[in-house]
Amino acid sequence: MAGCRGSLCCCCRWCCCCGERETRTPEELTILGETQEEEDEILPRKDYEKGRRYEAVKWMVVFAIGVCTGLVGLFVDFFVRLFTQLKFGVVQTSVEECSQKGCLALSLLELLGFNLTFVFLASLLVLIEPVAAGSGIPEVKCYLNGVKVPGIVRLRTLLCKVLGVLFSVAGGLFVGKEGPMIHSGSVVGAGLPQFQSISLRKIQFNFPYFRSDRDKRDFVSAGAAAGVAAAFGAPIGGTLFSLEEGSSFWNQGLTWKVLFCSMSATFTLNFFRSGIQFGSWGSFQLPGLLNFGEFKCSDSDKKCHLWTAMDLGFFVVMGVIGGLLGATFNCLNKRLAKYRMRNVHPKPKLVRVLESLLVSLVTTVVVFVASMVLGECRQMSSSSQIGNDSFQLQVIEDVNSSIKTFFCPNDTYNDMATLFFNPQESAILQLFHQDGTFSPVTLALFFILYFLLACWTYGVSVPSGLFVPSLLCGAAFGRLVANVLKSYIGLGHIYSGTFALIGAAAFLGGVVRMTISLTVILIESTNKITYGLPIMVTLMVAKWTGDFFNKGIYDIHVGLRGVPLLEWETEVEMDKLRASDIMEPNLTYVYPHTRIQSLVSILRTTVHHAFPVVTENRGNEKEFMKGNQLISNNIKFKKSSILTRAGEQRKRSQSMKSYPSSELRNMCDEHIASEEPAEKEDLLQQMLERRYTPYPNLYPDQSPSEDWTMEERFRPLTFHGLILRSQLVTLLVRGVCYSESQSSASQPRLSYAEMAEDYPRYPDIHDLDLTLLNPRMIVDVTPYMNPSPFTVSPNTHVSQVFNLFRTMGLRHLPVVNAVGEIVGIVTRHNLTSEFLQARLRQHYQTI
């Protein structure tokens, strides 16, 4: 083989011989066209020690991301509990006193004071960093899909997100803290490996690793998975969430690292929460922020089963209803979001704060009035589910302690107040594990009110999650179905907690349209693998039903933002299109040797992230080489980069060492005898002097102009590589150039570390003072461009273009014809569903 030069074992297609290293005579080396020194220089060498160190550092960073994400979750959980207990403790005492004295209005004012203050603080934090609003999952999904959303992974965003979700949850809004945990983990994953922050400019370490977008995306994937794992105690579900919802590029090594990061986050949060709440450090009894508790039938009820095969039919129907409810929720929220974009966001920022306060005011009044007026007094159950472990005892204690007895006699409780006047996690546990009954009327009213208020709340200018509100709303729906089946149909064997869980899964699946990851998350949260089949069936049915009407809530908000998100695959009918049908033929390009004034003009008049490096096809190149050093350098580079089949075969035949020496000498002798230098020059001349008629001359010191004619704009251009905008700006900032009177070899050379020193925030060309640079100086971009990017032919099917673009995480895909000329470029915008549909309609019209 050509690659086994100097090795102890050489293999070819026909034989394999191993032994001592073969020594060749000077004559044989001459025939082979090489020397011993050249061989030593050509031998590929790899610093394996450096590679192992890099991998070890990557594992340590992944572990640190998981630990930090777990600590962020601990911080959020601790202060949410503290603020919520303070608020409900004061208000509940006031309600109990005022129920005797008739001063409930004072209790309502106290509750309004707490809620409005907390929501006002949350809104102010969003004004500081607008990206912190919402759950952050649509933005993280875009980032992992390859779209850079400004400010999404900044330290200031993390601080505003964490503090804002504290106040919005404590303020009584129907939002959850689990969704923002995913965004928080992503910010930790993006910022921690950089060891620097734009918000804290003085904190900066010389850390030479992970200075690329791909490494950063991998760490963001790990952080997002750690956020899911910390929120639900579901490390496997977090890994699958990152795979299903986000990353466009995935490999086995990344899977291990993401799972390790999720495990680190889960057990970090578990360790501290178990120690703080139970006082038993190291017991690992509270795996996530949201715990469903243990689903177990009462020991006294021998006929009870968690679920039976007959119940699957009811679960399928619940999945259909959950999909319909989720589609309705998404439709209403989309209309609200459009209304906000037209009427709220264009106005002063104070209007957003007022909207948040209005939502908080209405929510607080509805919760208070419904708890005082609409509730029914229900008999407390005498039986209880007794578990052997302290965690189950703690769950039962939480369920019993969160029962509210407003205006009810002894041994009874107010069912509406028990659901409304508690933290959402406690209300979910009530619906999952409370043996007492909830009135069907109460459940129906609670579901309607909660559905409408949660739909209105999601999208206001506060950090807000959607997982817990959807779970609570769906649990009420499931518990209502269980009550109906028990009371009116006579199915006494069913377990109400199972139906509440399936209802929660149906509604959540109908809203977010997640399947694999959500199934595993719910299974891990329940610690019951027996629930795997009903949860999976319910989520599948809910997704199929909802997809018939609209997209998931996160995809809807991504679409409203106009982000070019790429799906997993294209539709079958898109294969009627080719790359030439969707590419952008109007190119902005640079030459291998370009004047500074041209580069500055290109960078300041365009927003492209990368530029093709090209040379023009001219029929009179020899005449141009005589007088102009700049054009001469470009043409010389073009000639040196031309690859012919004959030259490549000649080079390969000279390196075939696996032949016996005599056969090799005979083959090379025959080839050398047939070689004619004049023919080689003819081949080169034929490639240079193509059959195109000469186009109007464009010197490389001229910038692209809108006044170009059609011939000037679409002249044949030989493609040599891609150069990034950040690289061009770095070259200009550091003054990497040479004068026309000098050789290009005199241009300073920058190392990779120097080129990536400003990552991830390179200087803006509009903010640079380039007055010290001579605009007539020339920049040689060839040492810094990517000479071998992924390319496609103009006749490539769109499905192949799409798969290559998405799986390799590309941002630009040049379209190069059979003779090496670039004819267009494909970007993310050209592969969006809307753009492809428009091109397909245009294709049908031209047929």
Residue in the structure block whose two tokens are 């086995």: 252
Full DSSP string of 102-123: T-HHHHHHHHHHHHHHHHHHHH
The token pair that represents 148 in the structure block: 């850079």
pLDDT band at 12 (very low <50, low <70, confident <90, very high): very low
- The answer on pLDDT for 733 being more than 80 is yes
State the amino acid at position 284 in one-letter form: F
Closest CA to 812 of 511, 609, 514: 609
> CA-CA distance, 138 to 159, in Å (whole number)?
19
Tell me the longest C-alpha to C-alpha distance in the chain: 115
Of the two residues 472 and 675, the one the predictor is more confident about is 472
End-to-end, the C-alpha distance of the chain in Å comes to 51
What's the angle, vertex CA 440, arms to CA 434 and CA 442, rounded to 5? 80
pLDDT of residue 539: 93
> CA-CA distance, 518 to 506, in Å (whole number)?
11
> CA-CA distance, 436 to 444, in Å (whole number)?
17
User: Comparing 45-54, 95-104, 394-403, 486-495, which segment has the lowest mean pLDDT?
Assistant: 394-403
Of the two residues 712 and 668, the one the predictor is more confident about is 712
- The answer on pLDDT for 636 being more than 80 is no
pLDDT of residue 691: 33
What's the angle, vertex CA 715, arms to CA 709 and CA 719, rounded to 5? 145
- The answer on pLDDT for 772 being more than 80 is no
How far CA 367 is from CA of 56, 97, 548, in Å, comes to: 53, 19, 34
- Asked if residues 390 and 278 have their Cβ atoms less than 8 Å apart, the reply is yes
- The answer on pLDDT for 237 being more than 80 is yes
Closest CA to 598 of 777, 786, 782: 777
- The answer on pLDDT for 408 being more than 80 is no
Work out the mean pLDDT of the chain and round it to a whole number.
77
Closest CA to 493 of 315, 304, 296: 304
Mean pLDDT of 581-598: 86
Full DSSP string of 411-459: TEEEHHHHHHSS-HHHHHHHHHH--S---HHHHHHHHHHHHHHHHHHTT
What pTM did the predictor assign?
0.77
- The answer on pLDDT for 557 being more than 60 is yes
State the amino acid at position 473 in one-letter form: C
pLDDT of residue 670: 39
pLDDT of residue 618: 60
The stretches of 129-212 forming alpha helices (DSSP H) are 137-145, 155-170, 178-191
What stretch of H or E contains 613? Answer: strand 610-616
Question: b/e per residue, 396-413, with b = 16+ CB within 10 A?
Answer: bebbbebbbbbebeeebb
- Asked if residues 463 and 134 have their Cβ atoms less than 8 Å apart, the reply is yes
Sign of CA dihedral 545, 549, 551, 552: negative
pLDDT in tens, 410-426: 777 778 888 888 888 88
- The answer on pLDDT for 3 being more than 70 is no
Closest CA to 588 of 719, 700, 701, 703: 703
The token pair that represents 611 in the structure block: 């530029």
pLDDT band at 615 (very low <50, low <70, confident <90, very high): confident
pLDDT band at 130 (very low <50, low <70, confident <90, very high): confident
Closest CA to 456 of 546, 360, 370, 550: 360
pLDDT band at 387 (very low <50, low <70, confident <90, very high): very low
> CA-CA distance, 288 to 77, in Å (whole number)?
10
Of the two residues 474 and 660, the one the predictor is more confident about is 474
pLDDT of residue 324: 95
pLDDT of residue 706: 54
Quick one: three-class SS letters along 61-90? HHHHHHHHHHHHHHHHHHHHHHHHHHHHHH
pLDDT of residue 394: 56
pLDDT in tens, 536-550: 999 999 999 999 998
Sign of CA dihedral 514, 517, 523, 529: positive
pLDDT of residue 144: 82
The listed range with the strongest mean pLDDT (108-122, 287-301, 567-581, 728-742) is 108-122
In 3-state terms, what secondary structure has residue 774? coil
Question: b/e per residue, 528-543, with b = 16+ CB within 10 A?
Answer: beebeebbbbbbbbbb
Quick one: three-class SS letters along 231-262? HHCCHHHHHHHHHHHHCCCCCHHHHHHHHHHH
Give the strand pairing for 610-616 and 593-595. unpaired
Quick one: three-class SS letters along 154-169? CHHHHHHHHHHHHHHH
**What's the distance, CA 606 to chain centroid?**
27
pLDDT of residue 41: 40
What stretch of H or E contains 519? Answer: helix 516-526
**What's the distance, CA 598 to chain centroid?**
36
pLDDT band at 708 (very low <50, low <70, confident <90, very high): low
Which pairs with CB-CB distance under 8 Å and at least 24 residues apart come from 692-699? 692/617, 692/619, 692/716, 693/619, 694/618, 694/619, 694/620, 695/616, 697/618, 698/616, 699/628, 699/630, 699/631
> CA-CA distance, 367 to 421, in Å (whole number)?
7
The listed range with the strongest mean pLDDT (8-17, 381-390, 740-749) is 740-749
Closest CA to 556 of 355, 359, 326, 347: 326
Residue 10's DSSP bridge partners are: 17
How far CA 649 is from CA of 127, 296, 644, 653, in Å, comes to: 65, 74, 9, 6
pLDDT of residue 660: 38
In 3-state terms, what secondary structure has residue 99? helix
Mean pLDDT of 6-16: 42
- The answer on pLDDT for 688 being more than 70 is no
The stretches of 344-405 forming alpha helices (DSSP H) are 349-369, 390-401
Radius of gyration of the chain (CA): 33
pLDDT in tens, 428-467: 888 888 766 788 888 999 999 999 999 999 989 899 888 8
pLDDT band at 676 (very low <50, low <70, confident <90, very high): very low
pLDDT of residue 168: 92
In the chain, pLDDT over 90 holds for what percent of residues? 20
> Is the preceding omega at residue 760 within 30 degrees of 0, hence cis?
yes
Full DSSP string of 785-835: SBSS---B-TT-BHHHHHHHHHHTT-SEEEEE-TTSBEEEEEEGGGGSHHH
Full DSSP string of 291-337: --------TT-TT--S--TTHHHHHHHHHHHHHHHHHHHHHHHHHHH
- Asked if residues 744 and 781 have their Cβ atoms less than 8 Å apart, the reply is no
Question: b/e per residue, 302-321, with b = 16+ CB within 10 A?
Answer: eeeebbeeebeebbbebbbb
Residue 824's DSSP bridge partners are: 815
In 3-state terms, what secondary structure has residue 386? coil
User: Comparing 135-144, 251-260, 752-761, 774-783, which segment has the lowest mean pLDDT?
Assistant: 752-761
Mean pLDDT of 40-67: 72
In the chain, pLDDT over 70 holds for what percent of residues? 76
The listed range with the strongest mean pLDDT (114-123, 411-420, 619-628, 770-779) is 114-123
